[in-house]
Structure 1
Amino acid sequence: MSSKQLEQFLTENLAELKSKGLYNVIDTIQGANAPIITISGKEFINLSSNNYLGLATDPRLIEAAVQAAKTYGAGAGAVRTINGTLDIHIQLEEKLKAFKQTEAVVVYQSGFNCNMAAISAVMDQSDAILSDELNHASIIEGCRLSKAKILRYYHSDMDDLSAKAKAARESGLYKKIMVITDGVFSMDGDIAKLPEIIEIAARYDLITYVDDAHGSGVLGKGAGTVKHFGLSDQVDFQIGTLSKAIGVVGGYVAGKRDLIDWLKARSKPFLFSTALPPAAVSPAIAAIDIIRDTPSLMDRLWENGNVLKKGLTELGFDTGKSETPITPCIIGEEKQTQLFSKLLYEKGVYAKAIVFPTVPKGTGRIRNMPTAGHTKEMLEEVLAVYEAVGKELGLI
């Protein structure tokens, strides 16, 4: 018999989410997550995938996954520290080390795991973390888990960061102080001001931590935001994901050899969770080679992003301050944002509404994620649908 307390809690809170337009309906895709997807037998132009370079469906990655499963089995069989470290795990880490231009890399089961693992392995209740107010949820949870004092600074506001870093250092209250930022902010598409952050960090002796989930494979010839600014030797923690531009699943931390050795000894997801399966590791290796050797993929991604952003802006939509292919279309109120997404869906465009708590209240948006796989004709159709829906709702 289930708890009446639990039933009441769930009934009331689910109803509240639905009444406020905050309840997210999860759709099921029939087939691959490609530029064109099928849901309930209907085809849609897909603008909600993080598969930036189209590698998730690349035949070379699929073949690498098949061969790895045949050679190594369906799973790694153990945690990394017992006997779950396969030779391909080491190959992947060596490949990433060269890609990110650092001394060493450790791979985790997801990008979320990286932030939960790495922050809490180094920071504790005697420390402080300066965190951009728009950092990803995984960073926020990693900071909380560490029990360090969290000092939020205004988004990309270098004056505020500098003032709070100065106050934290001069207070004498903290043993270590870290500054954490996304490299590319996933909801707005803007790029962190890394050169200024590094300068402030040097002035106040801050540990530097960059989560580059949306920068890897997109900026810096694929190596990410840190490489984009030429700062590969000046950032202590570089966090990356294998699930976006790489097209598979997993995450990694890149940095100095001693840091990676410490994470292998003290970060709990590495110590207590079974290693990535071979069929994820091998295609990730293949993807890094493709990104390095095929710059035209990134060129096409950026071209498509620019076409979509320009088209939406010319129609009269607000695309915010995006500096990357991530293209938000800011609607505002939550229910209207959900309705906008619903009408796009009815007209064959799959672009999900992003509302509170993912973004601040009143800033609901449709987050469009163009990829290298979209054609000019697809984007033209998307813009035509946006125009029709915008006019129908009186937004343009």
Structure 2
Amino acid sequence: MNHLPMPTFGPLAGVRVVFSGIEIAGPFAGQMFAEWGAEVIWIENVAWADTIRVQPNYPQLSRRNLHALSLNIFKDEGREAFLKLMETTDIFIEASKGPAFARRGITDEVLWEHNPKLVIAHLSGFGQYGTEEYTNLPAYNTIAQAFSGYLIQNGDVDQPMPAFPYTADYFSGMTATTAALAALHKVRETGKGESIDIAMYEVMLRMGQYFMMDYFNGGEICPRMTKGKDPYYAGCGLYKCADGYIVMELVGITQINECFKDIGLAHILGTPEVPEGTQLIHRVECPYGPLVEEKLDAWLATHTIADVQARFAELNIACAKVLTIPELEGNPQYVARESITQWQTMDGRTCKGRTSCRNLKTTRGKSGVACRHTAWIPPPF
């Protein structure tokens, strides 16, 4: 199958990616490839409709720059067409429940018979192998967070809370993208295809292991805090000013010294509890941890966000206003970097959303239109 008519742009121009999946995790991997200029074909399952299609606006972002093909991969004619497509595909990504493709006869070995250099990425909640109790289960964002120990670390003292929007889906999709690119690099050196097993819960296990390492290696369980505060360190997390919320990170010798002078704690500097050279104030281990929080809360409550940002900029203390969604578009940094853009959709509407990834200086990605339909994809289909 020849390459489809499409603009040439981005560092992945000439790479063909095919993915089979619905909703967020699998399609997000395809979306990232498409924004970097790869030719991406989305195989839509004729038996299970993509629930994202019913959303009013998100599909215009998540399905842009893609070609769409409805195909029953597991029926005779559909299987034949699918395997023919694999012959000219560089990367195939499938998101399903465990080894669903292998159970239906489409194993890695079958795919490599048609394309020995194919990179195959399997994305599922619990992986391609393990116990049947888990590998055959469906999984979504919250399932992966709960099973990985990520969810239990978030929330407050009253109850844990999932991280939204759909954190595990996006992390897993990005993991599929990076793993597939790494495999493609190796395949181009060796000429031998590769298969990747991505379990969403293991992705979140990796993302959430900062606090877990203390338990695995010392039995310490990190407590959840109230009001969005860092569970370990005072002066880090979410705080309320006179006119709204900020986040801040009180880290560094000079930063702590100058901040303590402002909030009335200069007298504890140089004490055995806060010796010279202190870079972080431990919330529990330092006896002054609760006092630091109390004084900081009181000081911030009497100052506006603008005043705090100006003062903290002088002290080189990292902080940011918690922006509302309506505030994003007019923020001068967003404007300067064109972080929000507009594009024409297939139905002629103008859609506004996140600009495509354009981090490369000389080879840019591109925002485009939502799915091209099957008519763009020539025979044998």
Of structures 1 and 2, the one scoring higher in RCO (CA 8 A, sep 6+) is: 1
Q: What is the TM-score of this pair, normalised by structure 1?
A: 0.25
Give the TM-score of the pair, scaled to structure 2: 0.26
Specify the structure having the higher radius of gyration (Cα).
Answer: 2
